[in-house]
Amino acid sequence: MNKDQLIRTARALVARGKGILAADESASTIAKRFSAFQIDSSPQTRRDYRELLFRSKGAIEQSISGVILFDETIRQQASDGVELVKLIEAAGALPGIKVDIGAKLLAHYPGETITEGLDGLRERLSDYRDLGARFTKWRAVIGIDAHIPTPYAVDANASALARYSALCQEADLVPIVEPEVLMDGDHDLDRCAGVTEFVLKRVFMALSEAQVLLEGMILKPNMVVPGKRCPRQAAPKEVARATIRVLNRSVPVAVPGIAFLSGGQSDVDATANLNAINRIGGPWALTFSYGRALQAAALKVWAGHGENAPAASAAFTHRAFMNGLAAQGRWSKDLEPPPQDS
C-alpha cells in the first residue's frame, strides 16, 4: 500500500471548488432514466451520452475532480476511438469505478438490505487499476421507518464497507465510502440526524478495526434532510446545521474530504444545501458527488438526439459550475436561470 499516493489522490478528489461526477449507473438504472425520454438504451447510446458529458467544454476542467464509472463504461471508447478513461484524464480529472454489485434483501430482516460484491473483489480491483481507475465506490443502503434500521443491518453494511476499503487501499485505490441513509419515508429532520449519526459512528468503528487509512479515503454520506413525505421540509440553513452537527460528532478530522450524495434532491436543492453547509464549514473539504443532480438537466435537453448535444453540454457545464461554487460557499440562486414553462 502506497500511503503517500493514496493521500495525494484523496486530496485531489476534494480539491477546492471541485467535486465528483457519479456516472456509474448500471445498465438497468440508466435504461429507466432513458425511458422517460423514449431513448433506446444500448451500449452505443449509453456511450454517446457519457461521451457528451465527458467532452462538455470546461465542465470537468473547472468543476470536476473525478468521475465514477460503471464496468461497461471504463472499457468503452469514444466515437473517435479514444478511450473514455483517456477523455477524463485529458480534462484533468481522475477516473474511478463502482465496484459493488448492488444491494440485496437481508435475510430475516424485512425492509433492509446488504450490499454484495466482496467475492472476487481483489482480482477485480487489479483489473480496474490496469484499466486506469484511481479510486472506487461502494454504496450501502440504509432505510428508515418505525422499525429500521436495526443495529444488525447497519453493522453488516459497515463491515462490508470496511472490508471493501481495506482491499482498495491494498491495491492503491482510494475508496469512496458511501453509507446512504435514504430520503424515502415521512421521517423528520431529527430522525434522519439520529440515524445518520448512528450509521457513521458504526462505519468508522469498522474502518478502524480494518486498519483503513483515513487520510486515504473519501466519505460520501447523505445530507441530513427530512424524508420526502415529511409534511415539513427543511430550509438549507436547517439542513446545514443538522448535517455539520452530525459530522462533527461522527467523522474523524483525519478524513480529508466529504463528498455528499444528492439522494433524490432536486438539482437546485442539492446545490443550495451544499452551499449552506459550506457557509458553516468544518475541518474537512465539503463537496459533492452527484449523479442525477448533475445530469438531469443535460439528459432532458439531449433526449437522445445528436443535434441537442451542444445545448445538453451547456446544461451540464452550468450545473457542474454551480456546484463548484457551492463547494466554496459562493453560490447564489440569482446565478440560476429563471424556470422555464413546460
**pLDDT for residue 341:** 53
The helix or strand, by DSSP H or E, that contains position 179, with its residue range, turns out to be strand 174-181
Catalytic residue selected from 112, 178, 180, 197: 178
The helix or strand, by DSSP H or E, that contains position 304, with its residue range, turns out to be none
Q: Judge whether 83 counts as a catalytic residue.
A: no
**pLDDT for residue 162:** 98
142's grid cell: 440504509
Using DSSP, state whether 270 is helix, strand or coil.
helix
Lookup result for grid cell 479514444 = 82
Rg (CA), the chain: 19
Q: Judge whether 220 counts as a catalytic residue.
A: yes
What string of DSSP letters covers 116-157? ---TTHHHHHHHHHHHT--EEEEEEEE--SSS---HHHHHHH
Q: Which CATH superfamily is domain 3-332 in?
A: Aldolase class I (3.20.20.70)
Return the domain boundaries, the chain: 3-332
Q: Report the distance separating Cα 31 and Cα 41, nearest Å.
A: 5
Q: Who contacts 158 (Cβ-Cβ below 8 Å, separation ≥6)?
A: 140, 179, 199, 202, 203, 205, 206
Phi and psi at residue 154, to the nearest 5°: -65, -45
Torsion from C-alpha of 214, 217, 221, 224, nearest 10 degrees: 40
Catalytic residue selected from 220, 228, 237, 333: 220
Q: Report the distance separating Cα 158 and Cα 229, nearest Å.
A: 27
For each of the chain's 342 residues, which pLDDT tens digit applies? Answer: 999 999 999 999 999 999 999 999 999 999 999 999 999 999 999 999 999 999 998 999 999 999 999 999 999 999 999 999 999 999 999 999 999 999 999 999 999 999 999 999 999 999 999 999 999 999 999 999 999 999 999 999 999 999 999 999 999 999 999 999 999 999 999 999 999 999 999 999 999 999 999 999 999 999 999 999 999 999 999 999 999 999 999 999 999 999 999 999 999 999 999 999 999 999 999 999 999 999 999 999 999 999 999 999 999 999 999 999 999 999 999 999 886 654
Q: Report the distance separating Cα 123 and Cα 130, nearest Å.
A: 11
108's grid cell: 430475516
What does the DSSP 8-state code read for residue 337? P
**pLDDT for residue 342:** 47
**pLDDT for residue 337:** 86
